[in-house]
Amino acid sequence: MNAVALVARREIGVRGRTKGYRYGLLVTAVLVAVLAALPRLLGGGSDHTVGLVGTQADRLQAALTAQAPPGGDLTVKVTRYADETAARAAVAAGDVEAAVVGNETVISKTVVGQDLSVILDTAHRMVATEENLTAAGLDPAKVGQAQQVRPMKEVTLNGSGEDATVRLVIAMVIVVILFMLLIQICTWVAMGVVEEKGSRIVEILLTSVRPWQLLAGKVIGLGVLGLSQIVVIAVVGLAAAQISGAVPDLPDGTYGVVASTIVWFLLGYAFYAAMFAAIASLVSRQEELSGVLTPATMLLMASYLIGFIGARSPDGTLTHVLSIVPPFSSMVMPVRSAVVDVPLWETGLAMGLMVLAAAATLYAGGLIYQRAVLRTGARVRWREALRSAS
């Protein structure tokens, strides 16, 4: 096994074994699952009980069942009663929520709940209309056919109408997850670099592996942990949506958005990890770390905030430009893609630029790391690190 793989494996083994990582992953998975299933858990899945009395009970029952097919989120259980007195008693006893007497009166303890009320009202109209049509000598079936018209095609100028809210939520979730993961994993990279430099273990390591191998192994190993987190989040989120039946509510192209978010995570990670590692190699103590990392953290924060703005105004100039300019694009573009349809060439351009930026940062970061990592003691200055030939 080569040195890079060995280093990466150690990072995964040691970091992945910590309780922090395992519980973090578990908690995230649960949170995402709940979040994805929440709309359905709150909105749907109600069961109703209705009592029916009178000659039109058959037809009413048919109308009710038509609206609430068995196995759906909404069920209506029908009970027949011989007369109004029996129905009243049943409502009073709480056996049924409401009783319809002769398609004329609805009896309930208090006001009927909104969704049940709509169902009952619709059933009432259906049955009554049929009756009236028949009385007027018309065939209800033919009238029904005549009433079936194709819905108008919807063209929305701004976004996708009804999906807008869902898309916005998805975009917000993406930007939060990207930010949290990037800052977490990149901080691990930085801490790992300082751990090795501060403890001087790097002196032993560098007699066996080259600096770039050590850095690459660390970045790849921790990147695998980050990637596994984002994949778990994506899979759990989509699975929870599937199971809870929220999938039909997801806008078209959600899967594509999720997939491209993962790609953007990797690009952003390559960029920021190299930057964090290079900066971390300048200091020898963990206490100095947050200080020197501030500019890089600010950059990440700025991307995060612009990503948030971008979710709300996906067509704004700021969003538009920064969704292409690296490193902001790594957070702004996936957000923008989640909200509106982005032309393919723009996505391609943004990714291409980000790949270049990440490659340049990896190269420069590697050089700085190599030159600074053995220089323990006082903080190494940027200029020294860039100038000195190890």
Partner 1 sequence: MLEVDGLKKRYGDTVALDGVSLTVGPGEMFGFVGANGAGKTTTMRIVMGVLGADGGEVRWKGRRAGFETRRRFGYMPEERGLYAKMRVAEQIEYFGRLGGMDAGASKRSSDALIERLGLTERRGDDVDSLSLGNQQRVQLAVALIHEPEVLVLDEPFSGLDPIAVDALAGVLAERTAAGVPVVFSSHQLDLVERLCDSVGIIKGGRMVAGGTVAELRARESRKRLRIVVTGAESGWADRLPGEIITKIVRPPHGDPAQSGATERYDEVILTPADDQEALRVATSAGRVQHFGWLEPSLAEIFREVVA
Distance CA 65, CA 374 (A): 76
In the complex, least distance from residue 382 CB atom to partner 1, rounded to whole angstroms: 18
Structure tokens at 254: 């959600």
Residue from 10, 40, 77, 88 in contact with partner 1 (CB under 8 A): 10
In the complex, least distance from residue 232 CB atom to partner 1, rounded to whole angstroms: 24
Residue from 73, 83, 162, 195 in contact with partner 1 (CB under 8 A): 195
Q: Which C-beta is closer to partner 1: that of 85 or that of 286? A: 286
With binding defined as CB under 8 A, does residue 205 bind partner 1?
Answer: yes
In the complex, least distance from residue 228 CB atom to partner 1, rounded to whole angstroms: 20
CB 52 within 8 A of CB 84: no
Q: Which stretch binds partner 1 (CB under 8 A): 4-12, 219-227, 326-334, 356-364?
A: 4-12
With binding defined as CB under 8 A, does residue 367 bind partner 1?
Answer: no
- Alpha carbon distances (Å) from 33 to 6, 39, 243, 378: 34, 11, 10, 47
Cα 307 to the chain's mean position, in Å?
A: 14
Nearest of 244, 261, 260 to residue 33 by alpha carbon: 244
Residue from 26, 138, 201, 321 in contact with partner 1 (CB under 8 A): 201
Size of the site for partner 1 (CB under 8 A): 26
With binding defined as CB under 8 A, does residue 207 bind partner 1?
Answer: yes
With binding defined as CB under 8 A, does residue 210 bind partner 1?
Answer: yes
Hey, is 331 helix, strand or coil?
A: helix
Q: Which stretch binds partner 1 (CB under 8 A): 64-72, 198-206, 332-340, 354-362?
A: 198-206
Looking at residues 157 to 176 of the shown chain, list those that interact with partner 1 (rule: CB under 8 A).
none
139 C-beta neighbours (distance < 10 Å), count: 11
Distance CA 7, CA 221 (A): 7
- Helix ranges restricted to H, the chain: 3-17, 19-43, 57-67, 84-93, 114-135, 140-147, 163-198, 201-208, 211-244, 254-280, 286-312, 317-322, 329-339, 344-372, 382-387
With binding defined as CB under 8 A, does residue 203 bind partner 1?
Answer: yes
Length in residues, the chain = 390
| 105-108 vs 75-80, strand pairing mode | unpaired
Sign of CA dihedral 104, 109, 113, 115: negative
Residue from 37, 57, 202, 240 in contact with partner 1 (CB under 8 A): 202
With binding defined as CB under 8 A, does residue 390 bind partner 1?
Answer: yes
With binding defined as CB under 8 A, does residue 378 bind partner 1?
Answer: no
189 C-beta neighbours (distance < 10 Å), count: 25
Q: Which C-beta is closer to partner 1: that of 6 or that of 263? A: 6
With binding defined as CB under 8 A, does residue 204 bind partner 1?
Answer: yes
Q: Which C-beta is closer to partner 1: that of 14 or that of 31? A: 14
Binding mask 15-54 for partner 1 (x = CB under 8 A): ---x------------------------------------
With binding defined as CB under 8 A, does residue 206 bind partner 1?
Answer: yes
| Contact residues for partner 1, defined by CB under 8 A | 1, 3, 6-7, 10, 13-14, 18, 195-196, 199-210, 374, 376, 389-390
